[in-house]
Amino acid sequence: MRPWAGWCARALLAVLAAACQATAPASSPSPSAAVAPTPPATPASTATANTTSAPSLTLAPREARCNTQITGDFVLANDLRCTGDAFVIHVDNVVLDLGGHTLTGPGMGPQTWPNPQLDSVGVRVGGHTNVTVRNGVIDSFSTGIYFVDMVRSSIEDVTSRHNRYGFYIHASTGIGIRRSTVFANIYGLHLQDSSNNVVQGNRLIRQTYNSPGGYGIYLYRSDGNRILENDIDENINWGIWFSEAKGNLIFHNNVGGNSPQVSDNEPVVNQWFDPATKEGNFWSDYKGKDADGDLIGDTPYPILGPGGAVDAYPFVDRDGWKRKTRSTIDHYQPPAARPPREVRLVVVSGGSVQVATPGRQNLTDTDVSANSVALGTDGHTLLALDSRSKRLTVIDLLGGGRDSRTVQIDDGVVGANRDGHSVLIVGPHGAEQLDLETGQQEFFAYSSQPGELAPSYKHNHIFVATPRGIDLLYLNLGGRTPYTIPLDGPAGAMSMNGSGTRIYTAIRGQALIDVADTEQYAVVDRIRIGGEARALAVSPREDVLYVATDDGVIAIDLGTKRVRATAPFLGTVADIAISPNADQLYVALAGQVHAIAVLDAATLSTADLIPLQADPSRLLAAWY
């Protein structure tokens, strides 16, 4: 046999083998212009977390049709325009090489947050090991790539754009996502219940907004991941958003132009720098200096969230790790322990607002009437609303200043937006937001019977307790209420934890407290108690739930759901509040006794009693 004849025979066998490795339905593809991805520069360092890179393929490219079922290595030779899925992978140890071609879908489909949107998927695969998807563009699907229950698999050199979800990695481990671009999707790179993965050398940029979307990368209940050498830029919401994600390592990333840049609700459990090299990330809004010229800022970069986490070694220049030539000069000093807060008690008694100091018997009358009160994010700005006169009074409990405004909402309930300068008033026939700095007022359509309010920690919306559940009132979408978290009955007393991830809601007429996840928009736990809850308070450490019932007050350990302590009272418990120092619980008593009881938060033993002249209805613990 001549040499060229042997070569032709081998090529023909390769083509026949490729034809046996993929099956396709009868529908025909609709070719469009091929668009090659534009990956970022190759990273200088390597990360490992039981991930593997796929071998190079020598298969000849071949054409495919939409909904191709992959059962072996495959190299695509044409663009696809699909009304459903483009590819579904069914086996382990396989490479799908898109050959630089573009998969175009029918559009992103309706909202399904936080569940994956699977009406149409560019590449779908579940329950397999050692699968690689690479080298192409995925455009306008519900989800670009969906991995579920996957192990030791990879996404490489893929551009995912104009989808609802760019990449959705679900309940998977050992996944490597490298040199890919996630661009202009509603949700960028989403890791849900996925641990020990590597996200390296990607561009996560310019995701669009559909709250809670607009993020570059989101980790929910995903631990032990390594996120490095990515460009996370110009996303309309978060650049990096962590929720209940622990033990993750984040360094050598460029993070710029996001709003906000980063959010992490776990107290000091993620590492925002490489502890070996003492090198962190570049943050475009970092204001610190580099006096010693080592390219590392001399002061830490704060990570938004309740835990006080920091990037201790932020770079002052973009891609600074590529130019850094000497060791970091360590200036970092952990912050000193915070001194105890001064506490002032605000009580609405007989319709009048009064202020007391724990340990003292006297009350100060503010000469303000109110039926609804709230505290600003600074802890000492009091918002007092008299819905009968439609009068809102703003009092600085620290400086003594006050201001009064007229509001438009009937029968309103007041709350403080977490932006620090906006007040929210929600009534049964509308809602109003008032900017205390500019005086600007904005009105929103709303129709329900509001109970208590809980402004969102991360989103520009407010949770409203109602008879139908917990409404999510979006303030920057014309006052839409796109979600109502269903409960086990009408909502009663409500309390949000400090990190903003859980809302505890008493169910009227039942001895039950529903626990709602504020990011998954669902009840994720239930706490059964001895009677109906009248008031709730969560400890600053988020480890204890205090519950007021007709029989008194109980303290419930949120880790074990067991009762830690109880305190019976004569009369009725109208409201409770917890000290920001977590050492005292305050109980407003009505009926046979008009008073504020000061309790030890650990034992619920009474330390003091502040008498009142009339029945109380609301109680707040202000601080400064």
401-436 pLDDT tens trace: 999 999 999 999 999 987 788 899 999 999 999 999
Strands 363-369 and 352-356: antiparallel
Length of the chain: 624
Alpha carbon separation from 34 to 98, 247, 252, 485, 550 (Å, rounded) = 11, 40, 32, 43, 69
**Cα 48 versus chain centre, distance:** 26
pLDDT per residue as tens digits for the range 1-31: 333 334 333 333 333 333 334 444 433 333 3
Are 472 and 483 within 8 A, CB to CB?
A: yes
pLDDT at 34: 32
Residues in contact with 118: Cβ distance below 8 Å, sequence separation at least 6, in sequence order: 124, 142, 143, 146
Which residues are paired to 160 by β-bridges?
Answer: 138, 182
Rounded to whole angstroms, how far apart are CA atoms 332 and 593?
53
pLDDT surpassing 90 at residue 355: yes
DSSP 233-273: E--SS-SEEEES--S-EEES-EEES-SSSEEE-STT-SBSS
Average pLDDT, the chain: 90
For tokens 């006297």, the residue is: 362
- Beta-strand ranges (E) seen in 40-180 are 68-70, 74-75, 80-81, 87-89, 94-97, 102-104, 121-126, 131-139, 143-148, 154-161, 165-170, 176-178
Rounded to whole angstroms, how far apart are CA atoms 315 and 326?
13
pLDDT at 504: 98
pLDDT at 413: 96
pLDDT at 500: 84
Q: Is the peptide bond before 114 cis (omega within 30 degrees of 0)?
A: yes
Q: Which residue has the higher pLDDT, 52 or 377?
A: 377
How many Cα atoms within 13 Å fall on the side-chain side of residue 238? 25
pLDDT at 86: 98
Reference 413, options 397, 422, 401, 426; nearest CA is 426
Are 227 and 199 within 8 A, CB to CB?
A: yes
φ, ψ dihedrals at 14, nearest 5°: -65, -40
Residues in contact with 184: Cβ distance below 8 Å, sequence separation at least 6, in sequence order: 161, 162, 206, 207, 208
Helices (H), 269-351: 320-323
CATH topology (fold) of 30-54+65-268 = Pectate Lyase C-like (2.160.20)
φ, ψ dihedrals at 485, nearest 5°: -75, 115
Q: Which residue has the higher pLDDT, 48 or 490?
A: 490
Q: Is 371 exposed, middle or buried (0-12, 13-18, 19+ CB in 10 A)?
A: middle
Q: Which residue has the higher pLDDT, 146 or 10?
A: 146
Alpha carbon separation from 102 to 72, 76, 138, 345, 526 (Å, rounded) = 20, 10, 6, 62, 46
Q: Is the peptide bond before 260 cis (omega within 30 degrees of 0)?
A: yes
pLDDT per residue as tens digits for the range 223-256: 999 999 999 999 998 999 998 899 999 999 999 9
Which residues are paired to 279 by β-bridges?
Answer: 274
For the chain, the straight-line distance linking the first and the last C-alpha, in angstroms and rounded, comes to: 91
pLDDT per residue as tens digits for the range 306-325: 767 999 999 999 999 999 99
For residue 590, give both structure tokens: 């009505």
Rounded to whole angstroms, how far apart are CA atoms 557 and 267?
18
For residue 53, give both structure tokens: 């890179």
Q: Is the dihedral of CA 252, 258, 260, 264 positive or negative?
A: negative
Q: Is 271 exposed, middle or buried (0-12, 13-18, 19+ CB in 10 A)?
A: middle
Q: Which residue has the higher pLDDT, 384 or 115?
A: 384
CA triple 267-271-274, angle to 5 deg: 160
Mean pLDDT of 97-125: 95
CB atoms within 10 A of CB 295: 21
For domain 343-623, say whether CATH 3.40.640.10 is its number: no
Rounded to whole angstroms, how far apart are CA atoms 220 and 207?
18
Rounded to whole angstroms, how far apart are CA atoms 92 and 125?
10
Rounded to whole angstroms, how far apart are CA atoms 524 and 509?
20
Alpha carbon dihedral 514, 519, 522, 528, in 10-degree steps, equals: -20
pLDDT surpassing 60 at residue 158: yes
**Cα 134 versus chain centre, distance:** 29
pLDDT per residue as tens digits for the range 472-523: 988 765 677 888 999 999 999 999 998 888 999 999 999 999 999 988 889 9
Reference 204, options 246, 243, 258, 248; nearest CA is 258
Sequence ranges of the domains in the chain: 30-54+65-268, 343-623
pLDDT surpassing 70 at residue 125: yes
For tokens 């579920």, the residue is: 148
Rounded to whole angstroms, how far apart are CA atoms 463 and 456?
7
